[in-house]
Structures are given as structure tokens and as C-alpha cells.
Structure 1
């Protein structure tokens, strides 16, 4: 979730190098997972500071809406995607920090099973997503420590200009305790992050929102390191390469390229399994966007992922999505729509869907 056409994006064919000396979010038009407000605001944290007086910036966003299946058992049922987020940025000289919280509604069916469509609401789930401090050197290198997103999560939607339904690349995302080193200035930009094994779960959470709240469990990860390099080869051509290594959970490589308003990315993960299966995932995504009028963006994408599993049947996910992003009120409001249609080579047995959301930013 972030602001302005937040997935206007970046993508990539480049070699990932583990640049270690010198090392939050990229602009990409709007996923409900990657929506405008947070991105443009978080970008402000990278602006040079010329005073040692502390400064604060409070911002946030509210999204009201969700999804509905166009076929299958859940055809016509509403799946809620309502959420709220807010962050407090702090800067003083070369030091900066961010405290960011998020929450969303939890749906339940008549028997109390969570995340069912077309029924009622069973409460609220959420927590503190980011809590970190950082130091920015005079050459714009940033060292960040605390609860953070991984470097590859910063480029999660690189090359995906569509509103909501772009395929999620299988990299590690939110980290309970991590160190990130990055420099996002100039033609060559990079970011590297590393974290020890995460064992943070609901028992460690300071606040629980109800019996369905499982927010804290997302910070339970194996030890990992990931990062990316992006390079502006030409004025309108940006390349990117990234990689991730985890302790016992495989490795991933990612490359991509963006030229003007067309972008593509390719990735391969050596161990993209579930609780009952292990295997590899190889994926490809391409997207494009067009500014139909001021603040109105049309977008379309193709998404493909091949999961070759060791203890289950192989699965192919293949679909196209297309939508519109309309931003108005000086960036205070946005209305979004996206649609997803699976192709004949898809074996995931998923339903075609539509997504509609109204956003409010402050």
C-alpha cells in the first residue's frame, strides 16, 4: 500500500552482486499490498536533512473494499480487504526512524472459520509492521536496524504496474529484527538486508486483537539475507537483479528490466514448498500502463509461475489482469479496480476475480 501511482515501476535484467559496503520502498502504482501513501511518504525519509532539529511526519491510509469471485463456489461473494495503516517518521540530522502500524478486518463464516467469503466479520488483526532507526551518511548511504521489510520486499512489485493482482514473488518480506544497508541515489542503486532466525509469534505480541489474530506469526522466518542492485543503463531503461539466501529454505534469483512504461521480471526459487510439499518455482511477469488522463492510469499484466513439487502434483499458475487507478483530490483519494482471468494452461483451479477499493490518504 502506498501513494501516487505506486507501482509506476521498475524492473529488470541485471546481475545481482552482493555489494556490502554502503548499502524502503520503490514507487510502483498501487497494489492493495503495495498502495500509494506509504511509498511516497517513505521516500521522504531519504531526503537529505540540513538541520539537527528533530522533525516528525504523521501519515496514513485507509482502504475500504475487497474482492469477489466471478465463478466457482464463491461466485458473487464479497471477500473483504478493508485495512488501515499509519506511520510516524522522525528525522534529526543524519538520523531517522519510522514507527508504522497496520490492521485489517477478519471475516468468518457461520461456524467461526476465519477468512471465509460472503459472511460476517470476526474481529480485527494487526500490529506494528515497522519500528526502526537509521543513519544516513553524507554520500546517502543508509544503515537501518530494527523491525523492517527486507530489501527484496522493497522491490516486491518491481515491473508490476497493475493495481492489485500481480503475482507475489516468493521472497522473505517483513522481518522482526534486521539490518539493512542501502544507497538509493544515482544511476546505480542497491540494498542489502540480513536477519537472524525469527521466532516471533503471537505469544510474543504486546497486543492481540482477538482469537483470529495471527499477525505476529509472519515474523517467524529462517535466517536469511537478500538484496538487489538496480542500474539506469539509459535514460528510459532500468535494469535490476536480486537474490535471496535462506537457512535451509532455498535460494532465489530475480532479474528484470523496465523501458518507459513496459516492464518484465523473471525469477527462480530453489525451494518453494508448503507444509506438505517441496519443490522449485520459476516465474515470469510482464506489465504495462498508460496514463489515459491526469490521475487516471490503465494497466495490464501477464503472470506465470511453474511450481515443480516433490511430494505433490506440479502446478502452473497463469493469468492476465487489467485494471484502472484513479487518483484525485490532490492525492488524498484514489479509486481502484482490477480483474484477474486465468488462462487455459493454468492448473491451479483458481477462480477469476474482480477487485474494487476506495483509498483515503492523510
Structure 2
């Protein structure tokens, strides 16, 4: 591997970098399903969720055409003493036109895409340190993908490595100081090697092709209900990601810089950005949220670009947490490059 020195350095950096803020408190639009049960006897828990709804562009070629976002996910969690494990899968609909083109707004369902996204086992020590080995796993920074974002759905996607296969993950998310570190070798898996396949529109397993990497975070509660977070990702050949942020019950801020990815995972270059978000609970279970996101993209082989947009969202949770209704909107500001379409989002959630 070309960057062994980077990887070892990253471990040291995570151990000593400034305290971080990935708060244990789950904001309304997130249901935290990554924690192991707190029971002392053998336990089995089947849980999951269903979302029915989707998106609509307000401008452009797909103006007022519906893009379906309906999905279902679920899994079985097991714990026996200090040992625990999880198998968890997900699937969503794929719209297709009469020529067989996938992800075509305004058309009916052509098929389904899905697979297993978590399959791991682990051991939890007496001091709450969790050590996990996986065949499918969320990276440590994937656990924080929407950290500091109070809006329901349309927030900015930071270009860190998310879903991975064979990995070692070590974390302790109890107390005022928390951390998580994940390391994985390069992934060479794609849909041609998928364990599950749902037809010609299923490209789910293509995401498991990625460079070797290590990522993680530390977080610290500065004062009651205020958390500071710092994160780091080091990859073999596609640069490093530096992440920081502060989270409180109603306000949040995060900023990032990636040295090797300019826009998403596949465009070489660099990216720098930030997001500020706010939330207000108007009534019990009814939350209003807003956010502003800004990112500067500097591709190696193209002109610089800017992405900037505002969001306004609503989240209403009821039925003892069994149901939720969400709406979100994204409006691009005048400093955005190109002419992307504003859009809206509406979804009904069911949890079990």
C-alpha cells in the first residue's frame, strides 16, 4: 500500500486531535440504529423502517416530475453477554422509462435495487469499548454523515468513504469523550459479485469498489449539550478529509476540506466547504429546521465550481416514535455554478 505511513499517522492523529463533537443525542430526523442493546441477557431485536415518498424538481428539464424515493430496510440485532452482531438490509424502487433507462423521473417503477449494508459481529468490553469485524459495515465517518444537519433529507453530502466491506471498527461512544476508528483494505467488489441481485436495474454492490482507507472521529462535550467533533479520513491514493464541527440542541456548524476529491468520490481535485444548521421545536414532536451549505470545488482538470444552497424543512414525529412525516426543500443561491434545479422532498416514515 502506498500510504501506510499516512494510515499509521492517522491513528496517532485521531488519538491526539482536538476533542470532537458527534453528539450521542439523535436529532429528530435521525433514528440511531447502530447502538448495541443494553440488555444483560441474550436478546434478539428485529427492527427497521419504511419510507414512502420522493422528490420533485421545481425547474429545468424535469420540472414537476416526480422522482420516487420509496425504500424499506430492516435487520436482526443479537446480543449475548459482551458479544453482539447485526445483519441489516435495504432496498428501494428504481423508476425506468419505456427504453429501459433507469432513474428516470416521471415514470413508473421498473425494478428494485438493494442488498445487505451491515453484517458484523463484535465484542463490548466492561468500559463500553466496542471492537467489530465486518463483512459489511458503515465507516466511522458514515455514522456522522448527517451530524450537524437538522434538516430531514436534502443536506450536503460530504465526500467521505461510507459503506465498506471487510473492516475493523473500534469505538467507545459513552461518556463526555467519545471516539470511533474504522480501517478497511481496498474494495474490489461490484454488482457482478453481488450476494443478492434484484434484476437488471440493481447496481447496489457497485459502491463496494473503493481505495484502502482509515477514518474516524473524536468528540467531546465541552459543556452540557454542546459537543465538539473532529474527524479524519486517509485514503490510498485519493487524498485526505479533515472535518470539524460543533453541535448544540438547536444550532450546529460543520466544516471540511478534502485534498483529493473535488466533487463526490470520483472527481480528482480538492473541496472545501461548510454547513450551518438550526432547528426549533414548535410543539411536541414538531420541528422546523433550516440550513445553509457552501462548497468550493477545485477539479484537477476543469474550472473551479461552487455549490451553495438554503434548506427549509419540517419533521413531525408521532405515535410514540412509530411514525414521522417530513418535508424538505433546497433553493440554490446566486453564487452557485451552472443552473441546478431547486427541489422539494416529502416522505412518510414507518418504524418498527
* Structure 1 residue 28: Cα displacement: 4.2
Q: TM-score, normalised by structure 1?
A: 0.89
Distance 1:278 1:230, change over 3 A: same
The answer for the alignment partner of 1:123 in structure 2 is: 111
* CA distance in 1 between partners of 2:324 and 2:75 (Å): 19
1:184-218 deviation per Cα after TM superposition (whole angstroms, max 9, x unaligned): 01110000000001111112212210111100111
Q: CA 1:25–1:290 in structure 2 vs 1: closer, same or farther (change >3 Å)?
A: closer
1:170-189 superposed matches below 5 A: 170-189=159-178
Stretches (4+) displaced over 3 A: 24-31, 273-277
Q: Which residue matches 1:197?
A: 186
Contact conserved, 1:29 with 1:163, CA < 8 A, in 2?
A: no
**Among candidates 18, 28, 32, match of residue 14 of structure 2:** 18
CA RMSD, Structure 1 to Structure 2 (Å): 1.8
Write the distance in 2 (CA, Å) between the matches of 1:276 and 1:210. Answer: 25
* 8 Å CA contact retained: 1:107, 1:116: yes
1:207 maps to which of 178, 196, 207: 196
Structure 1: runs of 5+ lacking an equivalent: 1-15
Q: CA deviation at 1:42?
A: 3.0
The offset of 1:219, in angstroms, is 1.0
1:205–1:330 Cα change, 3 Å: same
Q: Is 1:103 aligned to 2:99, yes or no?
A: no
Relative to structure 1, the CA distance from residue 172 to residue 27 in structure 2 (aligned partners, 3 Å threshold; closer, same or farther) is: farther
2:158 aligned to 150, 169, 177, which one?
A: 169
1:332 aligns with 2:301: no
What CA deviation, in whole Å up to 9, does each residue of 1:309-328 have, x standing for no partner? 12112110000001100011
Q: Indicate conservation of the 8 Å contact 1:253/1:267, yes or no.
A: yes
- TM-score where L is the length of structure 2: 0.91
CA deviations on 1:140-164 (whole Å, 9 max, x unpaired) are: 0000110110000111111101111
* Cross-structure match for 2:347: 357
> Does residue 77 of structure 1 match 2:65?
yes
Give the distance between the partners of 1:277 and 1:175, measured in 2 at CA.
20
Distance 1:232 1:277, change over 3 A: closer
Q: Secondary structure of 2:14's match?
A: coil
Deviations 1:49-91 (A, max 9, x none): 423xx21000110000000011111110000000000011000
Matched residues in 1 for 2:230 and 2:140: separation?
Answer: 12
- 1:342 maps to 2:332: yes
- Distance in 2 (alpha carbons) for counterparts of 1:206 and 1:265: 36
Local SS of the residue matching 2:187? coil
Structure 2 counterpart of 1:317: 307
Mapping 1:229-244, distance limit 5 Å:
229-244=218-233
Q: Indicate how the Cα distance of structure 1 residues 82 and 27 shifts in structure 2: closer, same or farther if over 3 A, else same.
A: farther
State the number of aligned residues: 334
2:54 to 52, 66, 69: 66
How far the C-alpha of 1:19 sits from its partner, in A, is 2.5
